[in-house]
């Protein structure tokens, strides 16, 4: 019975650490892409075309990252 309790405590502690790490990773990811968007938002573009180019570059960066993550 005691080993069952310690197993449950271990699983609960491990799950809490896992969830905390997942949350930290999500925050880091969102901070990265927010910084990319902030760069685009702070630009003083001469035309809409230049903004579209920057958005397309960012979309390509995201697509490349997704492709890399899916390989793992």
Q: Report CA 66 to chain centroid distance, whole Å.
A: 10
Rounded distance, CA 60 to CA 52, Å? Answer: 12
pLDDT in tens, the chain (72 residues): 567 788 899 999 999 999 999 999 999 999 999 999 999 889 888 888 988 999 999 999 999 989 988 986
pTM of the model: 0.69
Q: Are 40 and 54 in contact (CB under 8 A)?
A: yes
Helix/strand/coil for 45: coil
Closest residue by Cα to residue 40 from 21, 12, 61, 18? 61
């Amino acid at each position: 019975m005691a080993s069952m309790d310690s197993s449950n405590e271990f699983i609960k502690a491990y799950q809490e650490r896992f969830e905390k790490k997942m949350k930290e990773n999500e925050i880091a990811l969102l901070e990265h892409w927010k910084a990319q968007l902030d760069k685009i938002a702070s630009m003083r573009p001469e035309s809409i075309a230049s903004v579209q180019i920057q958005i397309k570059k960012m979309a390509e960066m995201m697509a490349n990252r997704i492709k890399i993550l899916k390989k793992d």
